[in-house]
Structure 1
Amino acid sequence: MKIRTRLTLLFTLITAMLLGIYSISIYYSSKEAREKSFYSELQNEAIAKADLFFQSSLPEQEMHQLYKNNNRTLNEVQVAIYDFKNQLIYHDDAKVDYVKETPEMLSQIFRNKKINFFLDNLQVIGMTYHYNGKVYAVTAASYDKYGYEYLTHLFTISIISFISILILIYLAGIFLSKKALSPLNEMINQIKRITAGKLQLRLKTTGEKKDELNELAQNFNGMLERLENSFDAQKYFVSNISHELRTPLSAIITELELASEKEQTQKEYQQTIQYALDDARNMAKLSNSLMDLAKASYDPNEISFSEVRLDEVLLESYSKIIKENQGYKVSLNIEDTVEEHQLIIQGNEYLLQVAFNNLIDNACKYSPEHLCSIEVKAHTNTLHINFTNTGIIISREDMEHIFEPFYRSENSKKEKGYGIGLFLTEKIIHLHGATIKVISDNKATVFTVMFSTENA
């Protein structure tokens, strides 16, 4: 069921309930008011007949005749009068006695002074009447024809009005829901036109309106922006990876084809094998970097974090780099002001080691002495780890793109690399809630990683 139909039905149902409660309350209020009003009329008629009987010289026969004449055109009230001995002294029409008073009823009237009740469709009132020091019981009964006709008419009008209003409410609900949801239908039509090849399309938004649909459109456009950037980055990533993989593969194929086409000495074959091995190792190194990049791109909720000591991770990176590159020199200095608890963070040891390996390797690679100095310092609520080398100065232009994937400056192209290391390092550092910055001047190039120690 569509939202428009559901809203219309819900709106109609709620209106029907409220209208039904209102109509029922009006009907029962009118019914109760009619009952009380007719009891008052019976009481007035009983007093009037008793006054006429006791205080006027009108004969009883004429009172009977007056009752019969009125009864032909009106629902005349039938009145009966009894003395304190329960003897009937007057009755409008004893042959057609509506109430049929009993001694118990008369006793109740004398005792309670006033009673009223229903007798089938008739309303009956019994009351005491005082005249010349004597007490009499007077009863009055009649059928409220006009009152019941009014209630019947009110009930009929209520049913017709109820049904008519519900139909109008339903039609109005369809119109209003259609008008209210028309922007949503327009959004749906716009969304249908957006495909993988048309991610540049956006939903229309209005700056003036601050309603939920406009907010939805803005958020959806934000999501499209992120998807478009992600697709563009993916295309760029795949393009660069294809290029980087094609180079060593082409070299390996060329070297092997040359070796297979002509006779070579043992030394030349060994040299060809060595070239192929070097290219294969470069491919393996690139593959490992891509795997690390994929791991760093996971949702943070999917990466396992535990307590990690940063000094131990630095020592492992230090040992690994020295072991793999015997010409590199690395020094590690942890200041005395650094407390042990400041070195403990919640992190992923493997990813942190990848980041530190990249920073140490880069520092040694671009330093004339192949030297990297690591300093760990404690600052207010932060722990700074500086990776310093005295190598080539990074230009201001290169500094703006240094953390972009596959970006390689003119200076870095002299060394082997793929432009993934610093991009990967930045992702890992941000994944751990830390920040990284770089300063390069005439003295040195310093990469600084800052971890928060506020909760340490």
Structure 2
Amino acid sequence: MQIRHKISLQFTCVVAIILLFFSGIVYLRAENQRSKNFFDRIQGRANTTARLLVDVQEFTPKLLKLLDMNSSSRLPNEEVYVYNFKNELLYSNIDKTPDYIDPTFLENIKKEEKVTLKDENREILGILFTGKYDRFVVVASANDLVGYSQEKNLVNTLGIGFLSGIIITIILSIFFAGQALRPIQSINNEISRITANNLKKRLDEGNKKDEIAELAVNFNRMLNRLEMAFQQQKQFVSQASHELRTPLAALKTEIQVGLEENQTIEEYKKTLKNTLNDTERLIQLSNSLLQLARTIEDKDKFHFEILRMEDILLNVQKAIQGNYPHYRIVFDFEKIPDDDNLTLINGNLLLLENLFSNLIENACKYSSDHQANILLSFDKIYCIVKIKDKGIGIPENEIAYIFNPFFRASNSIDKDGFGIGLSITKRIAELHKAIIDVKSKYLKGTEFIIKIPHQ
């Protein structure tokens, strides 16, 4: 079922319930008023008949019956009976006594003083009448032909109004639902024309105020992210292909040289050594690419736990100095924490060790003294790590690009590397909601400041 039909059905049901509720109230009020008015008329006729019979001596039962038959205020099928307290019939305007009048009914009237009941379409009233000298039981009844006819007309009117209201509601709800959902149909049409080759197309955001406009705005933001992701993916594939082509071409060349005849054993050894170096470089590049791809995965795939920052840094320091004994790493607290919790963070141990390893190794690699200084501090929100070196620095106009995959500063081309480490570092920081700031002076040194929210 389409949304417009669901909306129409739901709105029609609501209107139907409201119409039924108010129709019921109108009918009940009309029925109560009809019944009250008619019983008031019956009571008036009963009191008049009893007063004339009991209190006016000139009126005999015969004369009163004759007067009643010719009265213009006589009700349809009116019957009036007057009984004394011995349940003896003193007066009746007709010759028969109905079945509903029995001693029990009369005694109930004496007890309650006023009793009403309904026998099919006949309204029956029994009252206790107090005359000048005695009390009497008066039973009067009649058919409310006019009242029931008006009530029937009211029911027909309410029924016609209800059905008309439902039909009009269905028509209008379908129309207005279609009008309200027309922008969504327009959005669907625009979305159907967006493909991977046409990600620059954007949806019309309308007035940018209502929910549909908000949907278009959010969808456009998603398209912006998708377009950026596609561009990054294309750039990554292009750059990765370029980086892989170099060691592969070198391998091919070395193999071709090795296949040539008339080479000495030393020349073969040299060829194999070069092939081994190119293979190791290819393995390192492949590992770096896999590591970069892994950091792009969803954060939920990584196990996060409470870690202590100084332990992470000391582990990284120990690992790097184990692999590169000539590197010198100096670790210290810039500010001693009063509370141990200020250096606790929520993170993934392997990813964070990778982040700091990249930065510390770069600091040592690009410094003539191969030294990196690490300072740990904190504020109200972040645990702060500063990694400083006195190396070659980064040209000012290239600082904005250092986190791009495969980018290498112009003054670092002669150093080993692929330009992937800082891209991995940036992505790991994003996974931990961390902030990385870079300060660098060309040929004087670089400082990386990493701010990770503490616990």
TM over 0.5: yes
Deviates more, 1:170-179 or 1:425-434: 425-434
CA distance in 2 between counterparts of 1:53 and 1:246 reads 127
CA apart distance, 1:232: 0.5
> Is the CA contact 2:46–2:139 (under 8 Å) kept in the aligned structure 1?
yes
Aligned pair in 2 of structure 1 residues 141, 450: CA closer, same or farther (>3 Å)? Answer: same
Gaps of 5+ in 2: none
In structure 2, C-alpha distance between the alignment counterparts of 1:31 and 1:65, rounded to whole Å: 33
The CA deviation at 1:63 is 4.0
Partner of 1:79: 80
Match of residue 331, structure 1, among 329, 332, 348: 329
Q: Kindly state the Cα deviation for residue 299 of structure 1 after the two structures are TM-superposed.
A: 1.9
Unaligned runs of 5+ residues in structure 1 are none
1:50 is aligned to 50
5 Å matches for 1:121-140?
Answer: 121-140=121-140
Please tell me whether the aligned partners of residues 76 and 144 of structure 2 are also in contact (alpha carbons under 8 angstroms).
yes
Contact 2:394-2:442 within 8 A present in 1 as well:
no
In the TM superposition, what is the alpha-carbon distance from 1:219 to its structure 2 partner? 0.8
Partner Cα separation in structure 1 for residue 442 and residue 323 of structure 2: 29
Per-residue CA distance 1:290-330 (angstroms, 9 max, x = gap) = 1221232222222112344444544444454445456x432
Matched residue type, 1:90: Y
Deviation for aligned residue 1:264: 1.1
* Equivalent residues of 2:344, 2:454 under 8 A apart: no
Distance in 2 (alpha carbons) for counterparts of 1:443 and 1:237: 30
Which residue identity does 2:156 align to in structure 1?
T
Give the direction of change, closer, same or farther, for the CA distance of 1:148–1:338 in structure 2 (3 Å limit).
Answer: same
- In structure 1, the residue matched to 2:2 is 2
**For the Cα contact (< 8 Å) 1:429–1:436, is it kept in 2?**
yes
1:102, CA displacement in angstroms?
3.5
Relative to 1, partners in 2 of residues 1:343 and 1:271: Cα closer, same or farther, differing over 3 Å? Answer: farther
* Pairs aligned (count): 451
Q: How does 1:84-233 map to 2 (within 5 A)?
A: 84-94=85-95, 96-98=96-98, 101-206=101-206, 208-233=207-232
Contact 1:436 1:447 in 2 (8 A): no
> Once superposed, what is the RMSD of the aligned Cα atoms?
2.8
CA distance in 1, matches of 2:114, 2:268: 132
1:66 and 1:396 map into 2 onto residues whose CA distance is 121
Residue 293 of structure 2 aligns with which residue?
Answer: 294
Structure 2: which amino acid aligns with 1:345? I
Q: Which residue of 1 aligns with 2:371?
A: 372
Aligned partner of 2:276 in structure 1 is: 277
CA distance in 1, matches of 2:65, 2:285: 123
Partner of 1:425: 425
Distance in 2, Cα, partners of 1:41 & 1:58: 22
* Residues 1:133 and 1:309: Cα distance change in structure 2 (over 3 Å): closer
Whether the aligned pair in 2 keeps the contact of 1:45 and 1:77 (CA below 8 Å) is no
Q: How far off is 1:438 after superposition?
A: 2.3
Q: What secondary structure, in the 3-state scheme, does the structure 2 residue paired with 1:414 have?
A: coil
Deviations 1:338-372 (A, max 9, x none): 45945553332322232233223322332234x12
What do residues 105-135 of structure 1 show as CA deviations (whole Å, max 9, x unaligned)?
Answer: 4444444433332234322222333444233
Given that residues 75 and 142 in structure 2 are in contact (C-alpha distance below 8 angstroms), is that contact kept between their aligned partners in structure 1?
Answer: no
1:229 CA drift (Å):
0.2
- Identity value in percent: 33
Query: Within 1, Cα distance between the matches of 2:121 and 2:142?
Result: 9
What is the distance in 2 between the residues matched to 1:107 and 1:315?
A: 105
